[in-house]
Amino acid sequence: MQKTFTALFLVTAVFVNVNAFEPFTEARKVLAEIVKLGKTTYSFFQESCDDSWIDFNSTGLQVDLEQKFFGQHIASKVLLKAITDFANNKTPKKPLVLSLHGLTGTGKSFVSQLLASNIYKKGMSSSFVHQFVATVHFPYSSEIDIYKTQLQQWIKGNVSSCARSMFIFDEIDKMPPGLIDSIKPFLDYYDNQDGVSYRRTIFIFLSHAGGERIKQVAFEFWENGKDREEIQLSDLEEKVPLEVFNNKYSGLWHTSLIDKYLIDFFIPFLPLEYRHVRLCALAEMAIRNMEPDEDIADKVAKDMMYSPQEERVFSSKGCKKIASKLVYYK
Ligand SMILES: Nc1ncnc2c1ncn2[C@@H]1O[C@H](COP(=O)(O)OP(=O)(O)OP(=O)(O)O)[C@@H](O)[C@H]1O
Ligand SMILES: *[C@@H]1O[C@H](CO)[C@@H](O)[C@H](O)[C@H]1NC(C)=O
Ligand SMILES: *[C@@H]1O[C@H](CO)[C@@H](O)[C@H](O)[C@H]1NC(C)=O
Ligand SMILES: [Mg+2]
């Protein structure tokens, strides 16, 4: 559609100009104008690696985290600070490397979308945001050597065309052990490698590793009658990396990423409670332009499984599958 629009506009412009002035030189000038206008129109629609398409909105992220992201006071705080500091730093010494940990349905993929949409105008569909899902992109352990080469080429290729790229690695606990180590050189404190600098790039790792341990800590707080919001990063920080490191299936198993402190932030996601599932249901209704219905929200939340078996505090699937349940109760 945009092409037709431009073409029509240009044809009109040529006619007007050619009729009014001496044909040849004027026609050439008009031609130059057409090329210029064409370029402007093109860059208006076509995503490019500059501030018009990549511009971190700190307020936007803050508002999104406050209004759309439930029950994750630690993750909210750490993410906002990490991204804001990184975006404001004109000469970062290394790329930003975030590792998000938590059980299923607690919002790891969801918050990655919020981050992307407050950095890139096109959000997750930006051509500078690259998502790799272990079971989709790297399913066979036997192919690890091919994956390693491919992954390194992709990252290098993409960062050399846009330094402010974002790479999201989902399900790293399901990646063939050792694969993640192949991207280590990109995460380190180097000025540049083969003329490519990775210092403005963001890497995000998502995994379940450490999730059970986080849940244990959250449960201890609950058992002792303490407020969930009292849980501090320090209550989890020391324990999570250790567990991740020692868990053979974490995808980060004995990886030198952790040894060398190349991961800037470990970000724990707490298991969600009944009240958060209710909020997820209400949020989903708003997205679908439905009237907010507290009764349906209650029904949806009641329909989820909770653990531990007796106390039933944490939703076993977090806020996953809420959307499909809504349809059922409507
Ligand atoms: N903390 C949260 N706040 C608001 N919505 C949430 C939250 N957690 C989950 N949701 C909702 O539930 C859906 C599923 O969550 P999401 O895919 O982010 O989970 P996940 O942590 O990535 O799980 P998995 O580890 O299985 O990939 C999201 O699309 C979102 O709508
Ligand atoms: C940043 O986000 C805020 C809150 O969502 C919004 O009002 C504002 O228009 C955004 N700014 C830009 C430049 O997009
Ligand atoms: C960029 O990454 C994508 C995968 O997201 C890959 O298909 C593509 O080939 C990469 N581009 C370059 C130039 O390497
Ligand atoms: Mg996910």
Region at 32 (left for phi over 0; alpha for psi -120 to 50; beta for the rest): alpha
Return d(Cα 80, Cα 196) in angstroms, integer. Answer: 27
Q: How far is CA 81 from CA 75, 102, 163, 234, 265, in A?
A: 10, 20, 21, 16, 11
Expressed in angstroms and rounded, the spacing between residue 207 Cα and the centre of ligand 4 is: 8
Nearest CA to ligand 2 atom 4: 60
Q: What is the pLDDT of residue 176?
A: 84
Query: In the predicted model, what is the mean pLDDT of residues 288-309?
Result: 94
Question: Which tens digit of pLDDT belongs to each residue from 206-257?
Answer: 988 888 889 999 999 999 999 999 999 888 877 666 566 556 655 555 455 5
For atom 28 of ligand 1, the residue with the nearest CA is 110
CA dist., res. 92 & res. 199, Å (int): 6
In degrees and rounded to multiples of 5, residue 206 shows phi and psi of -115, 135
**22 pLDDT band (50/70/90 cuts)?**
low
Q: How far is CA 169 from the centre of its chain?
A: 9
pLDDT score, position 209: 82
pLDDT tier at 4, thresholds 50, 70, 90? very low
Tokens of 196: 């490519």
Residue 67: what pLDDT?
Answer: 97
Q: What is the mean pLDDT of residues 35-47?
A: 74
> Considering the entire predicted model, what is its pTM?
0.86
Name the pLDDT band for 14 (thresholds 50, 70, 90): very low
Average predicted confidence (pLDDT) for the chain: 86
Percent of the chain's residues with pLDDT above 70? 84
- Tell me what pLDDT residue 253 has: 52
Ligand 3 contacts CB of residue 157 (under 6 A): yes
Highest mean pLDDT among 10-14, 97-101, 242-246: 97-101
Q: What is the longest distance spanned by two Cα atoms in the chain?
A: 89
Instruction: Give residue 1's pLDDT.
Output: 41
User: Ligand 1 center to residue 121 CA distance, Å?
Assistant: 22
pLDDT in tens, 63-88: 999 999 999 999 999 999 999 999 99
Pick the more confident residue, 105 or 181. 105
Residue 127 pLDDT > 80: yes
Q: How far is the CA of 103 from the centre of ligand 4 (A)?
A: 9
